[in-house]
Structure formats: structure tokens, C-alpha cells
Structure 1
Amino acid sequence: MHRPNLNNLSPNERTLLANLIQLYTTPNIIDIHGNAVSSGIHSDPALFLSFHRNYIGGLETFLLQQGYPQWVPLPAWNPVEQIPQEFNIPNTGPERLQNLNPNVSFSPEFDQENLINFATVEELGEALIPRHNLVHRRIGGVMNNMRRAPVAPIFWPFHSFIDDIWWDWQRITVVVPSCIGLSIVNATRLLDNCGLHIDMKANFYTSPWIRIKQQKPAPLTVTPRGTIVKLYY
């Protein structure tokens, strides 16, 4: 799915998108995030990721309804890059953004080739939250107020960037299903549907209906898609 880069849009496109985001972020929308923060959204790694994906989804539905499918999925902003001027909102008053160049890198820990190092979504979320918080602090202003951060339009593309990391992790990993107790035929079909390769240790006379007794890697572990799973019976 990779989302387009916010900084690759034209200035006119960014201006329009920022205006649409401001139109969407009514007090009720802001309160949804504020209530989630009060409920501990930033201390629950898995919920941190799923909540923000759904929260962004509300904006994406709005953009579709307004006739802007080109911005669904919502563009992403990488905080190693400068915040574009069109997204320097608010730029006056006590909530103004104080730093348009937070220069926070998520590389190499969260590069695609390294995401397999996170065995569970909880591990991934736990590692992302401190880096996410650092971006909010470095930008300052309303972005450093977690309850009201969605007031800043840059909040939304930033969380699109976070969501892309989670999506990459989901795309390249799979939770290994249990094949124990299944027939060879059914186990093969199940693993194949998960994008795993099967290497059965069988002999010529083995019936396909013999039940699996053991498998490697173990069920419920996270492994890269395409991993070879050995079945023993």
C-alpha cells in the first residue's frame, strides 16, 4: 500500500490537503484523540497502532466523501524531513509549531529489512512509541500536547508514516498457524495460504491423511513470509 510522500505533493496540493484536514478536525474529532490519550493509548503498544490506523481511516473516509480519492491512503510525512510550509499550522499563538525540522530518523531500526526483528505487534509498538513521542516533543507547540495534537494538520501525515511501518511489518511477517493434529493435505493447504513454504519429511508410502505431530517453526511464532516449515508425523 505504500503511502505517497507529503513533501512530493505540489504546494497547491499541500495547501488544499491541509485545508481539508482542518475542515475535518472538529472539536469532536479532537476529543476522540484526547479521550484515547486519557485512557492510556500511548502506553498500550498494540492499541497505539490500531487506534491511530482507525483514526486516520476516519479522515480518509471524509476525503473520499469530499471527492479527493487521490489522497486515500493519506500521504505520509517522514520526520527526518522538514515540515512543508503549507503544513505550518498553527503558526501563531501559544499553540504554534515551534520547530519545522525535528530531524528524527526511524532508520535503520524500522527499515523494511529490519522489521522482522520485532516478534510481535506489541514489540513493534513498544519500540515505536518513544520515537513517536520524540517527534511530538521536538516539533513543540500543540504537537507537544498529546490530547490536542490533531489540531496540527501535520499530525495526520506523521501518523500515516507510523502506520506504514506497521503495514510493512504485517506484510513481511506471518504468525505461523498450528498444523499439529491436521492431515498432511490440510496442513499443506493452511501453510500455503499463509505464504509459507512446506518441506515435508515423508517417505513414499506415507498416506496424506496421517496427522502432523510436530512442526518447525513452532506455532504462533512470527516469521518472515516464505519461511520453510518442516512437518513431522
Structure 2
Amino acid sequence: MAWKHTSHQHFNLFSEITLDTEKVGRELETLIANTDRIDVNVERINFALESTVQKVRKDQKNFNEEEITAFKNAVTKLKEDGDYSEIVGIHADMSHNMHGTMGPIGLLRFLGWHRQYLLEFEEALQNADRILRPQAESLITIPYWRWVDPFPEWLQDFLPSIPGTPDPVPRSLSGSKPSSNDIDIIINGFDQQLSGFNVDGYTRFTTGLEGFGRRPDGSELPAHNQVHQWVGGIMNNTRYSPADPVFWLHHAEVDRLWHIWQKQHPDLHPVLNDNDRIMDPWNETSYDQLVSITTLGYNYQSESL
């Protein structure tokens, strides 16, 4: 199936991203006003569900040596088998319209699309881990990296590489990334975003979390986009950033923060209809199926900011 989404100019680097807030605000107002809201099937959503099989995504700083080795070995196997480059290629295909720089629909698809993308990678990671560690009591999961913490020490020498190039790609680890106060604004001060525009709470929240928000003083609110830029190297590339293994830890933190916010605001969802609600290229997956991580079978080691 050829997916058709209305999109805007695409930026190749996170450091190149500029956004006309007035223009975007007006476009979002128009989209929301002209889109019939679809009620999410709340009977399928249970944020407190306790399942007998729940994967736990850990804080990366709590990974022990066995888990660190298992993660690295599984990623290496995926690369050697050619599976990793295929997974990166999904993200490189911007026809999926999954970033806010691509327009209002991309902004509203950002969180749901990347939640499914993490699940797809985690399944591949665990399949590789199962082959490498057939006797393991539990399989490796994607850890999360709190942005307020330093770059994961155990990933410092686990550098990304690009197919066809012999040398690893260095990271810069410079610039601006979120502080604890910024995280609080993203989660608890989300209603400050896009002030003056008639948009809903979900739109205001995802605007801040993706990296288009503002602090109360009007300065840029660092979030997802800015962390990509801070890490640098291939992580600064909007298409091929998953080539860096830290991408998965970074987006697990995005997903964790969304989950924390969701528990506080379970009735707020994106205004998406028709194909925009389907998280292509996964033709059978709609936003509705991605609302609750407990229903999806995983949780996070901590839900504190």
C-alpha cells in the first residue's frame, strides 16, 4: 500500500530545524477544527493493568554487566545479519510522516509512531538475544536514558557505523539538553505551549515533548529534538539517527515521559482520522492499539521525573 500523508519541507539535520510557530499554530487550529474527533476505545485502555508477562524497561544506569553485554551483542548480531540496517531504513522513509517538522499530521503521529517503532526494534533485539543466550531467564529490553543524566558511560565506545563506510561515526555531546526543570515544564506545564491558539491538550503536550516548546520566559524548551542535536554525529540526522544505538534509549525516555503524562491525562489523544491514524508501515496498527503500554505488555522501572 502506498501511504499518502500531507507533509511539509523536510529537514535533514535536527540542528537545521526551524519552525514558524504562528504558521504551525494556525495550521493546527484549522486541522483540529475540520477533523471529526474519533473516540478512543477506552475499554481497551488500562493504565494500571498487571499482566503476568510484563517486560520491564530499565534505567540504563541500572544495567548490570550481563545486561550491557547482552544488549551490545544483540545489536551487533542484528547488524551482522543485515536486520539493523532494515530497521534504520524504516525511519529513513519520511513518507511515514512521523515528525512535527513535516506538518501538523506529523506532529500528532510522532509519539504513537515511535512507540510502535520501539516495539518493532525490541522484538528484533530479543530475537537476537534469544539466539545468543538460549538459557537466559529473561531477554534484554530497551533501557531508557534520563536526559538529565550524563551520556550512558557503557555506550561511549559503542559507536554507530554507516553501511558502506569503514569508520565509526563520532558523537559531539555538546550543546543544550533538558534540565530537571525543563522536564517538569514538559509534563506539568504543557498547557503553556502554543498559547493563543485554539488547540487541544494533546497537541500542546506533544509540541513541547518533541522539541518545539518554549519556557515561560520565551526561550527554547529543550526536549527530543535538542537531545538528538546534543548527541550529534548520526543522531543529528533526522533520517538515519537510529543507526546510533543510543537512539533507542533516547526514544524510550520519550515514550516513558509520554506514559507518565498519559496517566495524568488519559482522555487526551491526537486528532487523527483515516490513514493518518494507521502507523504505517505497520498496516494493522492504529493509534488506538498503542495508547496503553501495560496493554502492550511492558512497563518502566521508574515513573518518576
Task: Output the CA distance in 1 between the equivalents of 2:112 and 2:144.
Answer: 17
CA displacement at 1:113 relative to structure 2: 10
* Pairs aligned (count): 173
Instruction: State the SS of the aligned residue for 2:99.
Output: helix
Instruction: Name which one, 1 or 2, has greater alpha-carbon Rg.
Output: 1
**2:107 matched to 1:45?**
yes
Q: Which of residues 93, 98, 113 is equivalent to 2:172?
A: 98
**2:233 matched to 1:175?**
no
CA displacement at 1:91 relative to structure 2: 6.6
Structure 2 portions without partners, runs of 5+: 1-53, 101-105, 131-135, 162-166, 192-199, 212-222, 269-305
Task: Output the CA distance in 1 between the equivalents of 2:230 and 2:126.
Answer: 32
Task: Output the CA distance in 2 between the equivalents of 1:47 and 1:157.
Answer: 20
Q: What are the equivalent positions in structure 2 for 1:78-157 lying under 5 Å apart?
A: 78-88=146-156, 89-90=158-159, 93=167, 95-99=169-173, 104-105=177-178, 107-111=180-184, 114-115=187-188, 117-118=190-191, 120-130=201-211, 131-157=223-249
- For 1:8, the equivalent position in structure 2 comes to 62
Question: Higher relative CO (CA 8 A, sep ≥ 6), structure 1 or 2?
Answer: 2
- 8 Å CA contact 2:186–2:205 kept in 1: the answer is no
Point out the more displaced range, 111-120 or 60-69.
Answer: 111-120
**2:85 matched to 1:27?**
yes
Q: Percent identity?
A: 25
- 8 Å CA contact 2:70–2:140 kept in 1: the answer is no
CA displacement at 1:103 relative to structure 2: 6.4
Task: Output the CA distance in 2 between the equivalents of 1:174 and 1:112.
Answer: 19
| Higher strand residue share | 1
Q: What are the equivalent positions in structure 2 for 1:52-71 lying under 5 Å apart?
A: 52-65=114-127, 66-67=129-130, 69-71=138-140
Task: Output the CA distance in 2 between the equivalents of 1:166 and 1:147.
Answer: 22
Amino acid in the other structure paired with 2:170: R
Task: Output the CA distance in 2 between the equivalents of 1:14 and 1:162.
Answer: 21
TM-score, structure 1 as length reference:
0.63
Structure 1 portions without partners, runs of 5+: 177-233
TM-score, structure 2 as length reference:
0.49
Task: Output the CA distance in 2 between the equivalents of 1:106 and 1:51.
Answer: 26
CA displacement at 1:39 relative to structure 2: 4.7
CA displacement at 1:114 relative to structure 2: 4.3
